Structure 1
Protein backbone atom coordinates (compact mmCIF):
# COMPACT_ATOMS: atom_id res chain seq x y z
CA UNK A 1 0.00 0.00 0.00
CA UNK A 2 2.82 2.40 0.86
CA UNK A 3 4.43 1.77 -2.53
CA UNK A 4 1.10 2.37 -4.27
CA UNK A 5 0.73 5.77 -2.62
CA UNK A 6 4.35 6.59 -3.44
CA UNK A 7 3.83 5.73 -7.13
CA UNK A 8 0.94 8.19 -7.29
CA UNK A 9 2.94 10.85 -5.44
CA UNK A 10 0.63 10.88 -2.42
CA UNK A 11 3.31 11.29 0.22
CA UNK A 12 0.85 12.23 2.97
CA UNK A 13 -1.05 8.94 2.74
CA UNK A 14 2.19 6.99 2.33
CA UNK A 15 3.63 8.63 5.44
CA UNK A 16 0.48 8.04 7.46
CA UNK A 17 0.45 4.37 6.51
CA UNK A 18 4.20 4.04 7.14
CA UNK A 19 3.75 5.48 10.64
CA UNK A 20 0.95 3.01 11.35
CA UNK A 21 3.04 0.00 10.32
CA UNK A 22 3.71 -2.22 13.34
CA UNK A 23 7.05 -3.31 11.85
CA UNK A 24 9.17 -1.47 9.33
CA UNK A 25 11.96 -3.11 7.36
CA UNK A 26 14.67 -1.68 5.11
CA UNK A 27 12.38 -1.98 2.09
CA UNK A 28 9.71 0.21 3.66
CA UNK A 29 12.29 2.77 4.81
CA UNK A 30 13.93 2.82 1.36
CA UNK A 31 10.53 3.23 -0.30
CA UNK A 32 9.82 6.34 1.77
CA UNK A 33 13.25 7.78 1.05
CA UNK A 34 12.77 7.13 -2.67
CA UNK A 35 9.32 8.73 -2.60
CA UNK A 36 10.64 11.92 -1.04
CA UNK A 37 13.59 12.01 -3.45
CA UNK A 38 11.25 11.60 -6.43
CA UNK A 39 9.06 14.49 -5.34
CA UNK A 40 12.13 16.68 -4.70
CA UNK A 41 11.84 16.83 -0.92
CA UNK A 42 15.43 15.96 -0.14
CA UNK A 43 15.30 17.39 3.36
CA UNK A 44 12.55 14.93 4.28
CA UNK A 45 14.32 12.09 2.47
CA UNK A 46 17.49 12.86 4.44
CA UNK A 47 15.49 12.94 7.66
CA UNK A 48 14.20 9.43 6.92
CA UNK A 49 17.71 8.31 5.94
CA UNK A 50 19.12 9.64 9.21
CA UNK A 51 16.33 7.96 11.20
CA UNK A 52 16.78 4.52 9.63
CA UNK A 53 17.73 1.95 12.26
CA UNK A 54 20.09 0.32 9.77
CA UNK A 55 21.16 1.95 6.52
CA UNK A 56 22.20 0.01 3.45
CA UNK A 57 23.72 0.61 0.03
CA UNK A 58 20.31 1.11 -1.57
CA UNK A 59 19.32 3.91 0.80
CA UNK A 60 22.65 5.64 0.27
CA UNK A 61 22.49 5.30 -3.53
CA UNK A 62 18.94 6.68 -3.50
CA UNK A 63 20.08 9.74 -1.56
CA UNK A 64 23.13 10.26 -3.80
CA UNK A 65 20.80 10.11 -6.82
CA UNK A 66 18.62 12.79 -5.26
CA UNK A 67 21.60 15.00 -4.52
CA UNK A 68 22.78 14.47 -8.07
CA UNK A 69 19.56 15.97 -9.43
CA UNK A 70 20.19 19.22 -7.59
CA UNK A 71 24.00 19.17 -7.77
CA UNK A 72 24.57 19.02 -3.99
CA UNK A 73 28.11 17.69 -4.01
CA UNK A 74 28.77 18.34 -0.32
CA UNK A 75 25.84 16.20 0.85
CA UNK A 76 26.55 13.41 -1.65
CA UNK A 77 30.21 13.23 -0.64
CA UNK A 78 29.24 13.26 3.03
CA UNK A 79 26.97 10.25 2.58
CA UNK A 80 29.52 8.39 0.48
CA UNK A 81 32.26 9.01 3.04
CA UNK A 82 30.01 7.92 5.93
CA UNK A 83 29.41 4.48 4.43
CA UNK A 84 31.79 1.98 5.97
CA UNK A 85 32.31 -0.80 3.47
CA UNK A 86 31.69 0.42 -0.04
CA UNK A 87 30.81 -1.89 -2.91
CA UNK A 88 30.95 -1.35 -6.67
CA UNK A 89 27.32 -0.15 -6.70
CA UNK A 90 28.08 2.68 -4.31
CA UNK A 91 31.17 3.63 -6.33
CA UNK A 92 29.09 3.52 -9.52
CA UNK A 93 26.53 5.90 -7.99
CA UNK A 94 29.18 8.38 -6.91
CA UNK A 95 31.09 8.20 -10.22
CA UNK A 96 27.79 8.80 -12.03
CA UNK A 97 27.10 11.72 -9.68
CA UNK A 98 30.41 13.35 -10.58
CA UNK A 99 29.90 12.67 -14.28
CA UNK A 100 26.37 14.09 -14.34
CA UNK A 101 27.51 17.20 -12.48
CA UNK A 102 30.39 17.99 -14.85
CA UNK A 103 33.16 16.90 -12.51
CA UNK A 104 35.11 14.47 -14.71
CA UNK A 105 38.36 14.77 -12.75
CA UNK A 106 36.66 13.69 -9.51
CA UNK A 107 34.92 10.81 -11.33
CA UNK A 108 38.24 9.51 -12.62
CA UNK A 109 39.96 9.96 -9.26
CA UNK A 110 37.22 7.95 -7.58
CA UNK A 111 37.51 5.25 -10.23
CA UNK A 112 41.25 5.12 -9.57
CA UNK A 113 40.58 4.94 -5.81
CA UNK A 114 38.35 1.91 -6.17
CA UNK A 115 41.12 0.06 -8.03
CA UNK A 116 43.73 0.66 -5.33
CA UNK A 117 44.86 -2.49 -3.49
CA UNK A 118 43.77 -1.01 -0.16
CA UNK A 119 40.19 -0.59 -1.48
CA UNK A 120 40.12 -3.39 -4.07
CA UNK A 121 36.58 -2.93 -5.38
CA UNK A 122 36.25 -4.53 -8.79
CA UNK A 123 34.48 -2.46 -11.45
CA UNK A 124 31.66 -4.00 -13.44
CA UNK A 125 30.31 -3.18 -16.91
CA UNK A 126 28.26 -0.29 -15.52
CA UNK A 127 31.33 1.21 -13.85
CA UNK A 128 33.25 1.10 -17.10
CA UNK A 129 30.34 2.53 -19.08
CA UNK A 130 29.99 5.37 -16.56
CA UNK A 131 33.71 6.16 -16.62
CA UNK A 132 33.89 6.45 -20.41
CA UNK A 133 32.19 9.85 -20.45
CA UNK A 134 34.63 11.62 -18.09
CA UNK A 135 37.50 10.16 -20.10
CA UNK A 136 36.32 12.07 -23.15
Structure 2
Protein backbone atom coordinates (compact mmCIF):
# COMPACT_ATOMS: atom_id res chain seq x y z
CA UNK A 1 0.00 0.00 0.00
CA UNK A 2 2.94 2.32 0.64
CA UNK A 3 3.97 2.03 -3.01
CA UNK A 4 0.40 2.70 -4.14
CA UNK A 5 0.30 5.91 -2.07
CA UNK A 6 3.62 7.07 -3.51
CA UNK A 7 2.37 6.37 -7.02
CA UNK A 8 -0.91 8.18 -6.32
CA UNK A 9 0.84 11.21 -4.87
CA UNK A 10 3.14 11.40 -7.86
CA UNK A 11 0.23 11.56 -10.31
CA UNK A 12 0.17 14.92 -12.02
CA UNK A 13 -3.39 14.48 -13.19
CA UNK A 14 -5.81 12.88 -10.77
CA UNK A 15 -8.91 12.18 -12.80
CA UNK A 16 -12.06 10.47 -11.55
CA UNK A 17 -10.71 7.01 -12.34
CA UNK A 18 -7.53 7.56 -10.33
CA UNK A 19 -9.44 9.05 -7.39
CA UNK A 20 -12.05 6.28 -7.37
CA UNK A 21 -9.35 3.63 -7.57
CA UNK A 22 -7.48 5.17 -4.66
CA UNK A 23 -10.60 5.32 -2.48
CA UNK A 24 -11.18 1.66 -3.26
CA UNK A 25 -7.56 0.81 -2.45
CA UNK A 26 -7.75 2.60 0.90
CA UNK A 27 -11.02 0.92 1.75
CA UNK A 28 -9.86 -2.59 0.83
CA UNK A 29 -6.64 -2.17 2.81
CA UNK A 30 -8.19 -1.16 6.13
CA UNK A 31 -7.37 2.52 5.67
CA UNK A 32 -10.92 3.79 5.95
CA UNK A 33 -9.95 7.15 7.42
CA UNK A 34 -7.84 7.88 4.35
CA UNK A 35 -10.68 6.71 2.10
CA UNK A 36 -13.12 9.06 3.85
CA UNK A 37 -10.67 11.95 3.69
CA UNK A 38 -10.15 11.51 -0.05
CA UNK A 39 -13.87 10.97 -0.62
CA UNK A 40 -14.73 14.24 1.15
CA UNK A 41 -12.15 16.09 -0.93
CA UNK A 42 -13.41 14.47 -4.12
CA UNK A 43 -17.04 15.25 -3.29
CA UNK A 44 -16.28 18.86 -2.36
CA UNK A 45 -14.58 19.32 -5.72
CA UNK A 46 -17.65 17.85 -7.49
CA UNK A 47 -15.58 15.04 -8.98
CA UNK A 48 -17.38 12.15 -10.68
CA UNK A 49 -18.61 9.75 -8.06
CA UNK A 50 -19.39 6.31 -9.39
CA UNK A 51 -21.40 3.45 -7.95
CA UNK A 52 -18.07 1.78 -7.24
CA UNK A 53 -16.98 4.82 -5.23
CA UNK A 54 -20.15 4.60 -3.15
CA UNK A 55 -19.70 0.90 -2.39
CA UNK A 56 -16.07 1.48 -1.42
CA UNK A 57 -16.81 4.40 0.87
CA UNK A 58 -19.74 2.59 2.49
CA UNK A 59 -17.39 -0.34 3.12
CA UNK A 60 -14.96 2.06 4.80
CA UNK A 61 -17.76 3.51 6.96
CA UNK A 62 -18.76 0.02 8.04
CA UNK A 63 -15.20 -0.99 8.86
CA UNK A 64 -14.74 2.19 10.93
CA UNK A 65 -18.26 1.89 12.42
CA UNK A 66 -18.94 5.55 11.69
CA UNK A 67 -22.69 5.42 11.21
CA UNK A 68 -23.11 9.20 11.02
CA UNK A 69 -20.87 9.41 7.94
CA UNK A 70 -22.61 6.33 6.59
CA UNK A 71 -25.97 8.07 6.92
CA UNK A 72 -24.61 11.05 4.99
CA UNK A 73 -23.43 8.72 2.24
CA UNK A 74 -26.86 7.05 2.31
CA UNK A 75 -28.47 10.45 1.68
CA UNK A 76 -26.07 10.98 -1.23
CA UNK A 77 -26.96 7.54 -2.60
CA UNK A 78 -30.62 8.52 -2.59
CA UNK A 79 -29.90 11.90 -4.17
CA UNK A 80 -27.88 10.27 -6.96
CA UNK A 81 -30.51 7.60 -7.59
CA UNK A 82 -27.99 4.89 -6.80
CA UNK A 83 -30.50 3.13 -4.56
CA UNK A 84 -31.45 1.14 -7.65
CA UNK A 85 -28.02 -0.52 -7.80
CA UNK A 86 -27.86 -3.89 -6.04
CA UNK A 87 -24.22 -3.48 -5.07
CA UNK A 88 -24.76 -0.05 -3.54
CA UNK A 89 -27.84 -1.24 -1.62
CA UNK A 90 -25.89 -4.29 -0.48
CA UNK A 91 -23.10 -2.00 0.76
CA UNK A 92 -25.68 0.08 2.66
CA UNK A 93 -27.08 -3.03 4.36
CA UNK A 94 -23.56 -4.17 5.23
CA UNK A 95 -22.54 -0.74 6.56
CA UNK A 96 -25.56 -0.41 8.83
CA UNK A 97 -25.16 -3.93 10.20
CA UNK A 98 -21.45 -3.43 10.90
CA UNK A 99 -22.33 -0.19 12.70
CA UNK A 100 -24.73 -2.16 14.92
CA UNK A 101 -27.92 -0.81 13.37
CA UNK A 102 -29.58 -3.97 12.07
CA UNK A 103 -32.99 -2.29 12.10
CA UNK A 104 -31.81 0.32 9.60
CA UNK A 105 -30.17 -2.42 7.51
CA UNK A 106 -33.54 -4.20 7.39
CA UNK A 107 -35.30 -0.95 6.53
CA UNK A 108 -32.95 -0.43 3.57
CA UNK A 109 -33.68 -3.96 2.40
CA UNK A 110 -37.44 -3.55 2.87
CA UNK A 111 -37.53 -0.25 0.97
CA UNK A 112 -35.80 -1.75 -2.02
CA UNK A 113 -38.38 -2.40 -4.71
CA UNK A 114 -36.55 -5.43 -6.04
CA UNK A 115 -35.02 -8.35 -4.20
CA UNK A 116 -32.28 -10.42 -5.81
CA UNK A 117 -29.71 -12.94 -4.55
CA UNK A 118 -27.20 -10.20 -3.78
CA UNK A 119 -29.62 -8.39 -1.47
CA UNK A 120 -30.98 -11.54 0.19
CA UNK A 121 -27.41 -12.66 0.90
CA UNK A 122 -26.56 -9.23 2.30
CA UNK A 123 -29.54 -9.40 4.66
CA UNK A 124 -28.67 -12.91 5.81
CA UNK A 125 -25.08 -11.80 6.42
CA UNK A 126 -26.29 -8.72 8.31
CA UNK A 127 -28.43 -10.85 10.60
CA UNK A 128 -25.54 -13.24 11.19
CA UNK A 129 -23.08 -10.42 11.94
CA UNK A 130 -25.60 -9.01 14.41
CA UNK A 131 -25.90 -12.28 16.27
CA UNK A 132 -29.40 -12.96 14.98
CA UNK A 133 -28.64 -16.35 13.54
CA UNK A 134 -32.22 -17.64 13.86
CA UNK A 135 -33.51 -14.75 11.75
CA UNK A 136 -30.82 -15.49 9.17
CA UNK A 137 -31.84 -19.17 9.09
CA UNK A 138 -35.53 -18.27 8.72
CA UNK A 139 -34.75 -16.15 5.67
CA UNK A 140 -32.53 -18.85 4.23
CA UNK A 141 -35.23 -21.49 4.76
CA UNK A 142 -37.80 -19.21 3.14
CA UNK A 143 -35.57 -18.75 0.09
CA UNK A 144 -34.87 -22.47 -0.22
CA UNK A 145 -38.56 -23.31 -0.05
CA UNK A 146 -39.57 -20.75 -2.70
Q: By how many angstroms is 1:132 displaced?
A: 1.9
| Structure 2 gap ranges (5+) | 128-134, 137-146
Q: 2: distance between equivalents of 1:12 and 1:104?
A: 34
Report the aligned-residue RMSD.
2.2
In the alignment, which residue of structure 2 is the partner of 1:132? 124
| The one of 20, 24, 33 aligned to 1:30 | 20
Query: Whose helix fraction is larger, Structure 1's or Structure 2's?
Result: 2
In the alignment, which residue of structure 1 is the partner of 2:131? none
1:93 to 2:80 alignment: no
Give me the TM-score of the superposition, normalised by structure 1.
0.74
Q: 1: distance between equivalents of 2:119 and 2:36?
A: 29
Quick one: structure 1 residues 45 and 123, their matched pair in 2 at CA, closer, same or farther if it must change by over 3 Å? Answer: farther
Q: 1: distance between equivalents of 2:74 and 2:51?
A: 10
How many residue pairs were aligned?
120
| Structure 1 gap ranges (5+) | 1-7, 116-121
Q: By how many angstroms is 1:99 displaced?
A: 2.1
Q: Secondary structure at the match of 1:64?
A: helix
Quick one: structure 1 residues 52 and 15, their matched pair in 2 at CA, closer, same or farther if it must change by over 3 Å? Answer: farther
| The one of 2, 21, 27 aligned to 1:9 | 2
Q: By how many angstroms is 1:100 displaced?
A: 2.4
Q: By how many angstroms is 1:33 displaced?
A: 1.3
| The one of 48, 53, 73 aligned to 1:79 | 73
Q: By how many angstroms is 1:124 displaced?
A: 2.1
Runs of 4+ residues over 4 Å off in structure 1: none
Q: 1: distance between equivalents of 2:42 and 2:116?
A: 27
In the alignment, which residue of structure 2 is the partner of 1:4? none
Q: By how many angstroms is 1:52 displaced?
A: 5.2
Give me the TM-score of the superposition, normalised by structure 2.
0.69
